[in-house]
A and B are shown apart, each in its own frame.
Chain A
C-alpha cells in the first residue's frame, strides 16, 4: 500500500497543477495581507481624500442658503464637517491617535453647538459660549494635550452619577457605571487613550457589553427562537471575553491587537475555515487523480497488477488526503511568513487564543496549535463530503469536468440551503451538518433545527454512502474500448 501511495504522490507532484494551486494559495494570502496593511495603516492617501472632500463641501455649502429654514439644518451639518476637515488638514494627526479621536468627538461637538447657535437658534449668547468652549478645547488640544485628563474627567462624571442614583435604582444600572469606571481605570493603568484603535473601541464597549448581557435571562429554556438564544449567547460571550481581557491585561495598543491578518490569525484561519481556494484544491485533485487515468487509459496499468481495485482506490484516496493536508500547511505557513514580513512581527503566534465555554461558562485559554487542530477535526465531514462526491461522480462518469461540477455543485448548493435554514426538513440536508465547529465548547448551531447528535448521525450516514458508493462503482467498472 505504501508503494501505491508513493506512486500516486509521485504522479501528482510531477504535474504542474499541484504547484499552480500552491502558488495561487500564496498569492491570495499575499493580496489579503498586503491589501489590509495598505488600507488600514496608510494615512497618506487620506490626506488626498481630505483635500477632495474639502472642495466638495465648499461647493455644497455655496449651494445652500443658511437664512432659508429648509436648508439651514443641512447647512450646519455640512459646515461642521467642512470646518473639521480643514482643521484636520491643517494639523495632521494620525488617524489612530488620541488627538484625532478628540477632534472627531469633542471638537466636532463644539463646532456643532457653535453653528447651531449661530444659524439655527441665532442666539448671540449661545454663540459666545460655544466659541469660548471651542477655543478652550482647541487650546487644550494644541498646547496642553494630555489624554489622561480626559479619562479622569470621565471617571469623575461616573462617580458623581453613582452618588446621584439612590439605592432604589436597579442595581444593574449602578453596576454598568462601575464597569465603565473599570474600563477607564484600565486605560490609565495600561496606557490606552481614547482613539479609533480596536483596543480603545473594545474598552469603550465594556460597560454596554455588561448591560446587554445582564438584560438577558440566564435560563436558556425561556428563549422562543434560535435567533434570540444566539443573541443572548453572543452577549454573554462578548462580555465574558472582554472581562477576561481586562482582568488579565490583554488589551494593548500594540499594532497587532485586532489585526485580522496577524501571523496568529493567518495560521489559525488555515485550519478553522475552508476557504474557496482550498475547496477548489480538494475538488481538482480528487477529480484529476481518478478521471485522468481513465481518459488516458493509464488506469489499465494499475488494474492489471496484483492489487484489488479497492487497494488501488484506497491508495488514491490517501494520496488526496496527504496532498490536501499539504495545501493547508502551505496556506498556514505562507500566511504566517507573509504576515510576519508585512507586519514586522511573528510573535503573535505565541499569544493565547481565548475561547468562551458555554459548558463551564468560563473563558478558556488555548494555544494556537491545539485550537487549530481541534477546530480542524470538526471540519473533516466537509472535507470528506467534497472529496467523495467528486470521486463518486468521477468514477461514474470518468469525466473530469463532470466530477469537478459535482464537487463545486455540492459546495454552491450548500450555501443555497443555508438561506432556507428555517424550514425544518432543510436541516436534514448533509451540507447543513458538515461544519461541526459551532458545537465546540458547548456551542450551538446558528441553524434552528441542527443539533450535534443529529449532525453526527447525518454526517456518518452521508459519508459512508458516498465512500461505499465510490468503492462499489470503481470495483465494478468495465473498461470500455478507447
Chain B
C-alpha cells in the first residue's frame, strides 16, 4: 500500500550495515521491545505453544478477531525452522520483513503484530490494525438541499475511498506524507495528474515536507502551516467536509490534502470568490444558481457594511437619509442614551455572544438560546431604551448575511471584519467606511493561494472565468477550467464536438 512506501525503504533490508539489529534471544527481544515502548501495560507478548514463535504487539492497536483467526490459528500447531516458512502460512494481506528494531517499534505503533522466531535476524510484521472510526454520516456544516449528503469521517482510508468512488480514473494520484515528529500522522495529497499544475504540486509537497512540529491533530492546523500568508485573517485555502466538493475541485485542477484523524479536506489553490460558491449552485438550474450567487454577494456587502453605514449616517451624515425615513429613525432613537457607535458595538457584541454560546452549548440547551436571545433580550433592550428598533433590524440583517456564506471560515472573517469598520465609521463616517474598504481591497489583492492570485478571476482579469464566478452560466458555456489553477489541460470537454452532437 502507498502508506508504507516511505517507511520500508529497501535500504533497511541490507544486512551488512545493520546498526539496530533484532536481538537474538527471546528474553532480550522482549526486554528491548518493552523498553523502547516504556513498559506500557498494553504490550502483548504471546508465545505460541510448540512452534517457537513469539508474537509481540500493542494490544490496543490491533484487531482481536483477526489476530486470533489469521495469525494465531494458522501457525499454532506447526513448527518452523525459518521465518520465511511462517510467511507462507499467514493469510494476512500486508506482511513485511524487517531487521531493524526502530522500524519494528514504529510499525507496532501502526497496528502491526511482530512475529518473532528465535535465532532469526529478521521478523515478520503483519498489519491488522483495529478500526476506530465512526460510520459515515450526513454533512452537517455544509448542508445541501439538492446533491449528495455524505460527509467525510476521521479515517484517511475511508475518505480516500469515498473520493475514488466518485473519480474512477487512473489519473487520480494519491501521494502520502507523514507529519509531526511525535504524532506521526499520515496524510495524503490528492490531485489529477494531467490536469493539476506540476509547479503547484511541487510547492505544496515542499511546504508539507518542511513542516517541523511535534504534533498536528487536525487538517485545520496543517492548513495554517501551509498557507501563503499566516498573518492574514482571510482563509487562503479552504476546508470542506464534502467528498463531492473535493472531487469537483480536483476535476478543476486543484489539489486536496487529507489527514488521518480529520474529517476536513484542505483544498488549494482557492480564490476569494469560491468561498461564496456552493456546490449546490451547479446542482440547480443556472438561473437559480446565478440568483443564489448574487444573493450571497449582496449578503456579503450587507453583513460587512450595513451596520457601519447606519453608524456613519446617524453620527455624521444625517443629510443622506431621506426625510421620511429620518422621521422614524429619530423617533426610535429618541430614547437611546448612547452615541450610535456604542449602541451598535453593544448590540453586535451581544449577537456574537449569542452565536458563540449557541456553538458551544450542548444541542439540547442550544434551542433555548434562540428564545433567550431573540425574544427576551431583543425586545427588552428596545423597550428599556438601550437600542433603537431600526438598529436591531439592521443587525439581524447583517448577522443573517454572514451566515449565508457557505464557508464557515469565511463567515467568521466577515463577522469580525464588521467591528473595525463600525469603529472607523464611528470616527470618520463614510470616509472611514471607504478607508476600510480600500484597505481590505488592497489586502485581498496582496494575498495569494498556493501562488495563484486570491482575487482571480477579477484581478488579474480573466474574463472567460467570469462565467462561473459571480454568476453561473449553463454548463455548455463553462467548458473551460478556471485559469487560476494553471491547468495542464484547459478544457473539460471539446466544445465543438459537443455542439455537433446536440444538432439533430
Answer yes or no: do A and B interact: no
**Chain A residues within CB distance 8 Å of chain B:** none
